[in-house]
Chain A
Amino acid sequence: MEILLQLFISFATVGVFCVGGGYASMPLIQVEVIEKYGWMSMNEFVDIFTISQMTPGPIGINAATFVGSKVAGIPGSIAATAGFVFPSVVIVLLLAYLYYKYGNVGPIRGILNGLRPAVVALIARAGLDIMLLAFWNKEKLPVDVMQTDKIAVLIFILTYIMLKKKKTGTIKLLFSSGIAGLVFYLATGTHP
């Protein structure tokens, strides 16, 4: 029981100070989990990063799950994950309340108006990142146009057409593009 509480508190600490998301949580996890408690090794931590590249979910949740299950099994992973999201729930709900109460007050409205185009830019950035990964298997510019994965581009175009012309739902699109990947790569005998 005590270990579950410790996991909860430890990951709640990571959650509170993890401002900026994603990689910002790295040094915090390192201090709290590796150095303070020795719950996992630096090597395992690097492995979690690799896993996170291929599996869904924020790195913080992944680390919490991994460490929790290693230290105290399934209850441990639940305690650690709950700890990680706990500060977010409290803070975000408070901000949501304030938004609906004061969201239209001049200065707050101004801040939100300033952040809206920034969010568009951040989404565009993520779009570019994932496009490079999908078409060229690279994380950064520049890319070699000759090395373009033609099957990937084909699936991309087909999905886009389905989305625009047939208004296919998001979840159906995700599944059908996955199946298209399986079929096309198998049919052409290439490997992504």
Chain B
Amino acid sequence: MDETKVTEEKLEKAVFKEPFSYSRLFFSTFIISAFTVGGGFVLIPLMKAKYVDEYGWMKENESLDLVSIAQSAPGAVAVNASIIMGYRLGGILGTFTALLATVLPPLITLTVVSYCYDAFATNPYVRMFLKGMQCGVTAILLDVVLGLLMKQIKKKLALPLLIMAGTFIASYFLKIDIMHIILVDAVIGFFLMRDSQYN
């Protein structure tokens, strides 16, 4: 299958619930980046909830592929994810739109906060607002995780489930470096998961 065919097929399958625009990409990414505390894998499911579930801008499987690539490249995962998702949605201009929207909030926040860190960190109202938002993020994450989990379970394939459980246990309980785990998963995929049933 050649390149254009693949892309066309994927574009066709994505059902746009909201039309794509650069301003929409910038605004939603900016807000998500501005209010998400807790690193790349908290930001990514929120992007997925926005771009895939809410806007229908890309397919779920494609978004997971892009996140795999973002995780495998050097740099911060959140930054990489915004670069590659931006590219997918709006080409090079999309890349810079999403990248700017991801980088600006921490840039602004840290510049401001570094001048008045104590006042910020100990302010009870800030803490209450942040705490509430933390709970909201937990709810959105639960929804994304359950959705992805159910999809994997419904396929009734042993290998992906094994990788999922193994990756979770290895990273959470055994505290093995994520890059090593990813490498093992990639090798398993390379040898055993080329069949289209795993697509």
In chain A, what residue has the closest Cβ to B35? A174
**Cα of A87 to Cα of B68 in the assembled complex, Å:** 18
A124 touches B138 (CB 8 A): no
B64 touches A186 (CB 8 A): no
In chain B, what residue has the closest Cβ to A162? B139
In the complex, chain A residues whose CB is within 8 Å of the CB of B152:
117, 120
**Taking the complex as formed, is A146 at the interface, i.e. its CB lies under 8 A from any CB of chain B?**
no
**Cα of A95 to Cα of B135 in the assembled complex, Å:** 35
**Taking the complex as formed, is B25 at the interface, i.e. its CB lies under 8 A from any CB of chain A?**
no
Size bracket of the B interface: 35 or more
In the complex, chain B residues whose CB is within 8 Å of the CB of A17:
74
In the complex, chain B residues whose CB is within 8 Å of the CB of A54:
37, 120-121, 130
A92 touches B167 (CB 8 A): no
A55 touches B83 (CB 8 A): no
Checking A106, A122, A129, A156 against B167 with a beta-carbon cut-off of 8 angstroms, the contacting residue is A122
A93 touches B75 (CB 8 A): no
A133 touches B76 (CB 8 A): no
1/0 per position for A130-146, CB-CB distance to B under 8 A?
11011100000000000
Checking A120, A170, A177, A181 against B46 with a beta-carbon cut-off of 8 angstroms, the contacting residue is A170
Checking B49, B171, B186 against A115 with a beta-carbon cut-off of 8 angstroms, the contacting residue is B186
Beyond the given A96-B88, A134-B131, A163-B140, please list 15 additional residue pairs across the A-B interface where CB-CB is below 8 A: A21-B39, A54-B121, A65-B110, A65-B111, A77-B111, A88-B74, A110-B194, A114-B163, A114-B192, A118-B181, A133-B38, A159-B136, A174-B140, A181-B132, A184-B132
A117 touches B160 (CB 8 A): yes
**Cα of A71 to Cα of B139 in the assembled complex, Å:** 40
Please judge, given known A-B contacts A56-B105, A191-B124, whether A179 and B74 are in contact too, CB under 8 Å: no
Please judge, given known A-B contacts A65-B110, A160-B143, whether A127 and B36 are in contact too, CB under 8 Å: no
In chain B, what residue has the closest Cβ to A171? B31
B76 touches A100 (CB 8 A): no
**Taking the complex as formed, is B23 at the interface, i.e. its CB lies under 8 A from any CB of chain A?**
no
The 5 closest A-B pairs by CB, nearest first: A181-B132, A114-B189, A57-B106, A177-B136, A88-B75
